[in-house]
Amino acid sequence: MYNSKIIGLGKYLPEHVVTNDDLSQMMDTNDEWIQERTGIKERRWIKEGTDDTSAVMGAKASRMAIDRAGLTKDDIDFIVFATMTPDYYFPGCGVQIQDMLDMKNIGAIDIRNQCSGFVYAISVADQFIKTGMYKNILVVGSEYHSNGLDKSTRGRGVTVIFGDGAGACVLSREEDTTKGILSTHLHSEGKYADKLIVEAPSIKHWVPEIMESKEDLSYFPYMDGTFVFKHAVVRFSEVIIEGLMKNGLQKEDIDMLIPHQANLRIAQFIQKKFGLSNDQVFNNIMKYGNTTAASVIIALTEAWEQGKINEGDNVVLAAFGSGFTWGSVIIKW
């Protein structure tokens, strides 16, 4: 048995910044409401006319991660790609990365677990490395939300939250099993699927049906925000504690918590509950909004770039989202 270890991190954010004031030109909202409820000041949205998509942004972040790992594309044995906004209904974005990076004919899978997507993706990659099947795996999280949001006042409760972006890491074999990813913890509760959902187009509810009716808005995300919030704070706490207990760690042992960037208020609630200082929790939702499957890996990359994660640190990743799904990853950096 081996452990897996992150040896390279990358990110890509589209250049186009959309501030809360920009949103108030499109819909009835305002900077004060958005900042007070979510902590978000601005987000990145892909500008019309550019080539960026979930796969293209994922490829850009991947090149950076592979480069920083000191590897080449030919050293990668497998691709795991997390997104809820793939370029195509099928095939998934993982195979596009294989092509865009001109890689060998390695395997590629997509993970569809929304805000928990990256935590699920890294957990899947970790298993392949632990068993010895693969040595270096590229794990990507990328989302292109902006093209699928309702930008009228009708959609304001959801649209102001989401941003576009991508992150990637290279997970590699680590012989010392006291280092790297120590454990991962995954959960789901499908009875709440309809609380945060994009219902269509789906095979059950296909495009011609939607086009027949002007009132059918099932292709826009629906979210019961208050319900999601209440469950998020409980599940985040539970799954972090589960991970700490599994490894004989106390909350005081956390050097860096990277929570999925759903809402700054959720992250602050968790921070307070665990008695962590500002240096022990990393947030960047203020700049990027909620980038779903990309949020944890973008935040991890930025925390590392800013020198906030050092060798030997206990790093905790945690996420909660649509499904509901939630999970945590405990890492000895």
Q: Evaluate whether 180 touches 332 at the Cβ level (below 8 Å).
A: yes
| Closest CB to ligand COA among residues 42, 174 | 42
| Closest CB to ligand COA among residues 93, 266 | 266
For residue 293, the minimal CB distance to ligand COA (Å) is: 11
Task: For the beta carbon of residue 138, count every other beta carbon within 10 angstroms.
Answer: 33
**Tokens 């990659």 map to which residue?**
125
100 secondary structure, DSSP code = H
Active site residue 115: yes
For residue 262, the minimal CB distance to ligand COA (Å) is: 3
Nearest to 112 by CA among 193, 51, 210: 193
For residue 23, the minimal CB distance to ligand COA (Å) is: 8
Q: Which residue is nearest to ligand COA (CB)?
A: 225
For residue 136, the minimal CB distance to ligand COA (Å) is: 30
Structure tokens belonging to residue 275: 């008695």
Nearest to 331 by CA among 206, 217, 226, 240: 240
Q: In angstroms, how far is the first alpha carbon of the chain from the final one? A: 19
Number of H helices, E strands in the chain: 11, 13
Residue in 3, 20, 93, 115 annotated catalytic: 115
Q: State the residues that interact with ligand COA by CB under 6 A.
A: 29, 33-34, 37-38, 115, 156-157, 160, 196, 223, 225-226, 228-229, 232, 262-263, 266, 290, 320-321
| Closest CB to ligand COA among residues 143, 255 | 143
Active site residue 260: yes
Active site residue 169: no
| Closest CB to ligand COA among residues 148, 157 | 157
- Give Cα separations from 298 to 166, 260, 324 (angstroms): 7, 10, 22
Structure tokens belonging to residue 99: 């092509």
Residue in 3, 145, 260, 314 annotated catalytic: 260
Q: Which residues are tagged catalytic?
A: 115, 260, 290
